[in-house]
Each structure stands twice: as structure tokens, then as C-alpha cells.
């Protein structure tokens, strides 16, 4: 990249937030402990062939029992922010109604431990683990989800809002609606546009409703929501490839943020999305879909190169893999491109009505090997260096970037990848639960001290 060498952490400013991220379903384990009931991921993982290696989140990283030592690692690595999510089915075992006191106790202890260690708790309300009891009633395809989500948000705000001031409403709504309700690759494994479109609409409403609830119940709250995003590039300059890339861009980058900004759904050049208006009468909900977030969380890992593909229904587009194009990529085949990271940040800032951007996830999976109690993950360190150079370039050019959170603290249950994909700064042996800080973790420790 052109904007180098890598800046120091201090050059980002004394108030810049450096954090690390985890999620309940991926880390906590203890899925049948102290009154917690199954989430959609516990159920989905029992289906043959859905998770690599037939992995299950039953034990994950056992954060439920080891949170104190894990938070000490966060502190030791030099991070200021610990972002984590709340397990809906641990707090409300029936999805709504009765409150599980043991679930409230656990998160109170995690929050109090963060504050004891001078870590800022950033809480994600929903990180993909819907209670299975609610999925049986339709899950995100049901309009009732808005009442269920209101109940969950209210309980969490009242229980934790005296100490938690930083809130992220939804984690990557495009990901859980498309992978879980259209493609069937993630929980709950539903497929088809008949599931995807209502799930999208209800998630759009929920992210705004949740923001309003937190605003009303938590004094001094700093409220955001997180969007997955990828720069979309056409494979060629042919008109059909350019249009295919444009359609993909609408889905990947615009579908959730534009309603939150009061712009409604992005239907230009993709008339299929008019079905959102027809099916849900979304024009009635334009104002309800809007919420004035204090920040938006951007979660970026890679750009995509897209070509026209008439075989693919509706979107008529498909990806040209990074390996095929012989460009640098991670173990998951994701292109490594710091300049693209810079451009996607700049693009979201150009909406004009975004107050602040926080990179709430960024990271890479590689084939890490534990040898002689060390993990020499040089490629991951280079990935972070390249992306932090791009981040500084964006901040240097006047974009209000408030923080950067690395995905993830430790190797965890990585959804449909099971335990095969390792993103962590800390290596975890999931048989013994032994934690080993990787070279990338030590690199971050040293960087944050510069």
C-alpha cells in the first residue's frame, strides 16, 4: 500500500478505541447450563452436513466458566474495549416472558469484571443466536419478532444500562438474513425469497426499534449497529458484469444502512426489491425504519469481484474467487486488500449523515499451527498491518473513525466452518481449552504500546 509505514497506535489519538470482539454462541459454551435453552445454532449444528467436522457449539471456548482469565488476556494484550454479545436464550429461555436470573447474573459478572479491569464493555444485543423456541414460531420471518425483540432489548437495557453505555443493536443483518433465511447455509437453514424478504424487513425495523428503546432507557447511551460490507468490483467492463456487480452491491452494502438513514430501500436498477415494498408495504414504515445512530459499525474482511451469471436466480451474479484471480487471500479464500478497506470506509462516510464510524470487526483466518507452545502467524500480522495503514489513511483524510476492533480474541466456533477456521489472536485447543497467545496477539500488545 502507498500510505506506509504503519502508524503508531498513539497517532490515532488518545480517545481512539482499540478493542477485540467475541460472540456468545461462538465462545460461551455451557449451552445447557443454568437455565439456558437451545438457540437456532444449537439445533442447526445437529443437522448432518451443516457444520464442518460435525462441530457443535456445546462447549466452544467455555467462556462461561473462564471469562475472568479471558478478560485478563484482553487486558494483557493492551486492548481498551471488550465487545461481546448477549445470549438471548440465556436471558429469556422462552424467548420472551420470564427472565432467567442466572443469565442476568452471568452478564452482570462479566460487565463488572470488565469495569474492574478498566475495560469498556461494548454490548451487542443480537449476534445471530435466536432462541429456538422463537424460530418455531417463524423467527425473523414473523412480524411478531418485533415484539419479541422489544422485550429482549428492554430487559437487557434495564438490567445492564447502568454500567453499559455502548450498544450495538444487530450484528451483520445482511449476513444472518441471507445465509440463514435465503441460502440455508447458516442457522436456521431456511431457503428462498419467501423467507429472505420478510426477514430483511423485520431486521431493518428491529435495528431502529432497538435503538429507540436503548435511547429511552439508558442514560448517556452511545448507540450503533453493525453492517457487513465489501467493495464490489465487476470482473470486466462489460455492461452485464457491471450491472451484476451493481445488484450485488445493493444487497451487500446498501440494503440495511439506507433505510436507517431515512432513504428507504435501495431499489434502483434492481426492481426485484420492489417486492419489499409490495409484500411488506414498506413505504408505510419509512420513518420507523430510520434511527439516528451515534455511530455505525463497519465489518469488513475482503472485497468481491463479480461477474454476470444467468444461472443464479434473481441476482444473476456470481463471485470470481481470489485464488482464481491469483491475488493474495486468506485460508478461507478471502482476498486481502487494504486499499479496498480504505475505499469502503470512505464510501460509507460519503453518505454524509453518518456521525462516526467504528470498525467493529476486521481480521483473517489462516492455517495456524501450534509448535513448541508458539503460533507464528506471520500472515495475520501482515494482514493487520496492511489494514491499519488503510485505517490511518482514512482517519488522516478527515473521516471520523472512533475505533477499531479485531476479530477475534480467540479461536472459536466459527459458524458453519466449525472449529476449522481460526481467526483468533489466541490459539485454543478445544479439547483441553488451553489458551496460547499467538505472535499476532503479542504483535498487537506491542503495537498498542507505541
How far CA 438 is from CA of 118, 287, 343, 374, 427, in Å, comes to 23, 47, 30, 6, 6
Residue positions annotated with a catalytic role: 172, 361
Say which DSSP state 8 is in: P
Cell numbers 489494514: residue: 387
Q: Nearest Cα to 294, choosing from 204, 167, 407?
A: 167
Cis geometry, peptide bond prior to residue 5 (ω within 30 degrees of 0): yes
How far CA 20 is from CA of 79, 249, 293, 310, 367, in Å, comes to 7, 28, 21, 41, 20
Residue 444 buriedness (CB in 10 A; 0-12 / 13-18 / 19+): buried
Contact, 317 vs 309, CB < 8 A? Answer: yes
Give CA–CA dist 311/181, Å, rounded: 20
Q: Which residues contact 408 (CB under 8 A, 6 or more apart)?
A: 20, 21, 22, 26, 363, 423, 424, 425
Give CA–CA dist 82/22, Å, rounded: 8
Give CA–CA dist 55/32, Å, rounded: 16
| Helix, coil or strand: residue 380 | helix
| Helix, coil or strand: residue 337 | coil
Joined grid coordinates for residue 335:
482476498
Kindly list the strands in the beta sheet with 232-234, ordered across the sheet, starting from the edge strand earlier in the chain: 232-234, 304-308, 317-319
DSSP string, 163-203: T--EEEEEE-HHHHHHHHHTB-SSTT--BSHHHHHHHHHHH
Give CA–CA dist 443/161, Å, rounded: 34
Joined grid coordinates for residue 63:
467462556
Q: Which residues contact 63 (CB under 8 A, 6 or more apart)?
A: 22, 27, 28, 29, 70
Degrees (nearest 5) of the Cα angle 283, 289, 293? 150
Amino acid at each position: 500500500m502507498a500510505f506506509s509505514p504503519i502508524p503508531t497506535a498513539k497517532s490515532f489519538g488518545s480517545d481512539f478505541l482499540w478493542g477485540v470482539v467475541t460472540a456468545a454462541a461462538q465462545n460461551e459454551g455451557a449451552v445447557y447450563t443454568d437455565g439456558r435453552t437451545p438457540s437456532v445454532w444449537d439445533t442447526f449444528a445437529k443437522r448432518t452436513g451443516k457444520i464442518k467436522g460435525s462441530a457443535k457449539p456445546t462447549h466452544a471456548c467455555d467462556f462461561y466458566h473462564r471469562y475472568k482469565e479471558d478478560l485478563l488476556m484482553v487486558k494483557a494484550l493492551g486492548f481498551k474495549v471488550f465487545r461481546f454479545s448477549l445470549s438471548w436464550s440465556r436471558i429469556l429461555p422462552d424467548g420472551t416472558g420470564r427472565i432467567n436470573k442466572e443469565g442476568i447474573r452471568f452478564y452482570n459478572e462479566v460487565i463488572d469484571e470488565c469495569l474492574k479491569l478498566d475495560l469498556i464493555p461494548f454490548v451487542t444485543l443480537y449476534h445471530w443466536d435466536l432462541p429456538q423456541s422463537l424460530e418455531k414460531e417463524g423467527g425473523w420471518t414473523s412480524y411478531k419478532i418485533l415484539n419479541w425483540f422489544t422485550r429482549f432489548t428492554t430487559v437487557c437495557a434495564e438490567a445492564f444500562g447502568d454500567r453499559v453505555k455502548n450498544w450495538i443493536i444487530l450484528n451483520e443483518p445482511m449476513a444472518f438474513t441471507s445465509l440463514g433465511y435465503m441460502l440455508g447455509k447458516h442457522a436456521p437453514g431456511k431457503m428462498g425469497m419467501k423467507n429472505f424478504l420478510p426477514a430483511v424487513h423485520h431486521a431493518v425495523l428491529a435495528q431502529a426499534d432497538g435503538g429507540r428503546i436503548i435511547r429511552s432507557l439508558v442514560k448517556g447511551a452511545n448507540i450503533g449497529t453493525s453492517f457487513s460490507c465489501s467493495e464490489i468490483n465487476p470482473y470486466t467492463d462489460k455492461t452485464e458484469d457491471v450491472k451484476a456487480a451493481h445488484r450485488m452491491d445493493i444487497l451487500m452494502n446498501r440494503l440495511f444502512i439506507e433505510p436507517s438513514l431515512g432513504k428507504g430501500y435501495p431499489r434502483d436498477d434492481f426492481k426485484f426489491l420492489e417486492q419489499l415494498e409490495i409484500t411488506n408495504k414498506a413505504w408505510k414504515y419509512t420513518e420507523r425504519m430510520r434511527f439516528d445512530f451515534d455511530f455505525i459499525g463497519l465489518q469488513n474482511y475482503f472485497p468481491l469481484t463479480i461477474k454476470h451469471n444467468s444461472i443464479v436466480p434473481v441476482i444473476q451474479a456470481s463471485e470470481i474467487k481470489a485464488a482464481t484471480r491469483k491475488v493474495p487471500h486468506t485460508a478461507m479464500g478471502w482476498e486481502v486488500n487494504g486499499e479496498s478497506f480504505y475505499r469502503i470506509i470512505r464510501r460509507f462516510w460519503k453518505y454524509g449523515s453518518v456521525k462516526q464510524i467504528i470498525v467493529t470487526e476486521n481480521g483473517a483466518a489462516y492455517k495456524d499451527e501450534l509448535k513448541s507452545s508458539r503460533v507464528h502467524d506471520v500472515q495475520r500480522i501482515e494482514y493487520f498491518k496492511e489494514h491499519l495503514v488503510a485505517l490511518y489513511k482514512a482517519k488522516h483524510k478527515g473521516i471520523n473513525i472512533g475505533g477499531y476492533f479485531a476479530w477475534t480474541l480467540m479461536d472459536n466456533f466459527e459458524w458453519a466452518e466449525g472449529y476449522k477456521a481460526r481467526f483468533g489472536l489466541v490459539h485454543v485447543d478445544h479439547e483441553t481449552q488451553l489458551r496460547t497467545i499467538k505472535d499476532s496477539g503479542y504483535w498487537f500488545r506491542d503495537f498498542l504500546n507505541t
